[in-house]
Amino acid sequence: METGKQYFTTAYWSGLLHEFVAAMHTTKFWKELIMMSLGMMLGAASVYYFLMPSHIIVGTISGLSIVLNTFFGGNADTFSYWVMGINAFLLVMAFLLIGNEFGAKTVYTALILGPFVQLWDRIYPYTNFTHRVIYDQDILIQLSQGRTILDANGNPYLLSRSGEVLEQVKDSVMSAGLGMGDVWFDLVCFVLLLSLCQAFEFRINASTGGLDIIAKIINKYFHFDIGASVTIGGAIICCTAFLINDFRMVVIGLIGTWINGLVIDYLTVNMSNRKRVCIISPEWERIRKYIVDTIRRGCSLYEVVGGYTNTKQIEIQSLLTKDEYADLMKFMRDNKIQAFVTAGNCSEIYGTWLIHKSRYENFMEDLKQRSVEFEQKRQEYMEHRRQYWESKKLKNHKK
CA distance 325 to 361: 20
Question: Within the chain, where are the H helices?
Answer: 10-24, 27-46, 61-71, 76-97, 103-123, 127-130, 137-144, 173-178, 183-203, 211-222, 226-239, 247-271, 284-289, 322-334, 359-398
Task: Using the Cα atoms of residue 86, residue 89, residue 94 and residue 100 in order, give the sign of their dihedral.
Answer: positive
Lowest mean pLDDT among 254-268, 270-284, 325-339: 254-268
Taking the domains of the chain in order of start, what are their residue ranges?
A: 4-271, 274-346
Tell me the whole-structure pTM to 2 decimals.
0.60
> Is 43 within 8 Å of 114 (Cβ atoms)?
no
pLDDT of residue 365: 63
Digit-coded pLDDT (tens) for 203-251: 776 777 677 677 777 767 777 665 567 667 777 777 776 776 667 767 7
CATH numeric code, 274-346: 3.30.70.120
pLDDT of residue 339: 92
pLDDT of residue 1: 44
* Backbone angles phi and psi of 312, in degrees to 5: -85, 135
CA distance 141 to 165: 10
Order the strands of the 300-305 sheet from edge to edge: 300-305, 312-320, 274-280, 340-346
CA distance 78 to 65: 9
Give the three-state DSSP class for 398. Answer: helix
- pLDDT above 50: residue 178: no
- pLDDT above 60: residue 41: yes
Task: Using the Cα atoms of residue 313, residue 319, residue 324 and residue 325 in order, give the sign of their dihedral.
Answer: positive
